[in-house]
């Protein structure tokens, strides 16, 4: 990933200067997204939705959560039946963005199962105050529903039985990046320079830390990959999800029993760490436009990377999660009744043709492989009972089963 030096805002320059003029890519990404005063997430500068910086499935409208709600109802009923003394099931949204997922999910649950609706409470895990303020405004209409915001640490101190949803959150966790030069791996860093009283940043190579080196060796052996891959070109680089193990550890401590549904972009290891993917998957988004030079416009853009499926499985199982299954979003939503949704649009009167066309477009975008249909739905379960298969997973079945 070769890029020329780019202008650096004063606030980032101050951080890098305070740390000796060079920081790891992990720290750079964390600051760019989560710095309390200037990070693109922490300040709420990023906008999610068709008119924002990027879209998510819930931000397109209610259609996604109308389908997801059927699966959530199944899980809530199953969890209530595992313990007759249980009165409340928690629905936990990790990294809730604009609050669209819970907003539409609440509306869908009210329609589908009003009796169950009084047996749930909502917990939002959000580290950034700017996003939290927007979530509170979004969910303000639901005044009769127990809704609270907690940190992962606070929830782990009082773990609950419930359903945990991680929708497009893992791809925004800070990552380390490794670079291959002269048959040796280095960590990618970001270096500050000053010219004519103006600050610039560029990539630089740093020694590979022992912890990352050992982690790469350990995981590579367990999932049978080579980093870098054989015959890869000079400068081959990729992401290494250094904080993923801790994330699975923390989530496991938050839940006594129930499913964890991860919805995100992910690739098999042989595709993720292939020699042809020589610059990894890291990319930034602003105003619906992607940019491979992620050093540009920091503090105003989203920075994201794909996940590796086999590493997710390995680290989740290590931290007491049971793997249930995985499927692409297109097939998942079809199993939850998307085809019926499309067919129902034929019943909408001509006077509401515009509404029908919008719903149809949204549904098709959700399953389009070139758009949102290539997301992976990855399901894990944590069970305190002997029967770990009690949770039904409708989205993993064939449509119309």
pLDDT at 1: 54
d(CA 81, CA 119): 12
- Other C-beta atoms within 10 Å of 79: how many? 22
pLDDT at 353: 77
* Residue 121 and residue 97 in contact, taking contact as beta carbons nearer than 8 Å: no
Would the pLDDT of 71 be above 50?
yes
Rg (CA), the chain: 22
d(CA 175, CA 244): 9
Instruction: Report long-range pairs for 270-276 (Cβ below 8 Å, ≥24 apart).
Output: 270/225, 272/238, 272/306, 272/308, 273/225, 273/226, 273/227, 273/228, 273/229, 273/238, 273/308, 274/229, 275/228, 275/229, 275/230, 275/231, 275/232, 275/233, 275/236
- How does the average pLDDT of the chain come out, rounded? 91
pLDDT > 70 in the chain, percent: 95
Q: Which residue has the higher pLDDT, 365 or 249?
A: 249
**Pairing between β-strand 89-94 and β-strand 160-167 as defined by DSSP bridges:** parallel
pLDDT at 178: 97
Structure tokens that stand for 29 in this block: 């990404």
d(CA 17, CA 106): 46
pLDDT at 390: 57
* Residue 99 and residue 108 in contact, taking contact as beta carbons nearer than 8 Å: no
pLDDT at 354: 80
pLDDT at 83: 62
> To 10 degrees, what angle do helices 10-18 and 25-34 make?
140
Sheet with 376-382, side-by-side order of all strands: 147-150, 120-125, 89-94, 160-167, 255-264, 376-382, 322-328
Closest C-alpha to 113, from 80, 86, 139, 137: 80
Would you say how long the chain is, in residues? 401
pLDDT at 51: 81
Model-level pTM?
Answer: 0.93
d(CA 208, CA 231): 21
pLDDT at 386: 43
Domains identified in the chain and CATH numbers: 1-401 (3.40.50.12710)
Q: Which residue has the higher pLDDT, 223 or 347?
A: 223
For 184-199, what is the mean pLDDT?
A: 94
Would the pLDDT of 387 be above 50?
no
Structure tokens that stand for 9 in this block: 């805002």
What does residue 388 show for φ and ψ, rounded to 5 degrees? -85, -5
d(CA 55, CA 45): 15
Confidence of residue 74 (pLDDT cuts 50, 70, 90): very high
Structure tokens that stand for 179 in this block: 């670079």
**Pairing between β-strand 198-206 and β-strand 184-195 as defined by DSSP bridges:** antiparallel
d(CA 260, CA 266): 16
For 378-397, what is the mean pLDDT?
A: 76
For 256-279, what is the mean pLDDT?
A: 95
């Amino acid at each position: 990933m070769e890029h020329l030096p780019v202008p650096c805002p004063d606030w980032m320059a101050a951080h890098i200067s305070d740390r000796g003029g060079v920081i790891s890519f992990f720290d750079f990404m964390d600051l760019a997204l989560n710095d309390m005063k200037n990070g693109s997430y922490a300040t709420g500068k990023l906008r999610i939705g068709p008119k924002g910086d990027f879209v998510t499935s819930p931000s397109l409208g209610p259609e996604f959560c109308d389908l997801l709600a059927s699966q959530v109802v199944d899980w809530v009923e199953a969890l209530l039946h595992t313990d007759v003394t249980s009165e409340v099931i928690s629905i936990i949204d990790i990294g809730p963005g604009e609050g669209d997922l819970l907003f539409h999910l609440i509306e869908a649950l009210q329609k589908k199962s009003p009796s169950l609706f009084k047996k749930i409470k909502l917990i939002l895990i959000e580290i950034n105050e700017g996003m939290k303020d927007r979530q509170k405004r979004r969910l303000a209409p639901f005044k009769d529903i127990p809704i609270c915001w907690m940190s992962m640490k606070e929830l782990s101190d009082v773990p609950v039985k419930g359903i945990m949803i991680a929708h497009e959150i893992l791809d925004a966790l800070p990552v380390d990046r490794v670079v291959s030069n002269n048959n040796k791996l280095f960590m990618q860093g970001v270096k500050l320079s000053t010219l004519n009283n103006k600050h610039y940043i560029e990539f630089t190579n740093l020694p590979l830390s022992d912890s990352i080196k050992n982690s790469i060796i350990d995981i590579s052996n367990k999932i049978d990959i080579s980093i870098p891959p054989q015959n890869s070109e000079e400068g081959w680089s990729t992401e290494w999800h250094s904080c993923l193990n801790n994330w699975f550890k923390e989530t496991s401590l938050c839940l006594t029993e129930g499913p964890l549904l991860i919805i995100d972009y992910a690739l098999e290891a042989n595709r993720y760490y292939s020699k042809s993917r020589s610059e990894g998957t890291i990319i930034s988004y602003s105003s619906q436009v992607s940019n491979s030079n992620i050093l540009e416009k920091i503090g105003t853009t989203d920075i994201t990377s794909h996940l590796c499926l086999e590493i997710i499985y390995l680290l989740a199982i290590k931290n007491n999660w049971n793997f249930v299954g995985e499927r692409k979003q297109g097939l998942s939503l079809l199993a939850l009744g998307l085809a019926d949704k499309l067919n129902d649009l034929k019943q909408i009167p001509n006077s509401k043709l515009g509404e029908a066309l919008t719903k149809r477009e949204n549904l098709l975008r959700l399953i389009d492989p070139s758009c949102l249909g290539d997301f992976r739905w990855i399901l894990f379960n944590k069970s305190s009972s002997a029967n770990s298969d009690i949770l039904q997973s409708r989205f993993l079945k064939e449509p119309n089963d």
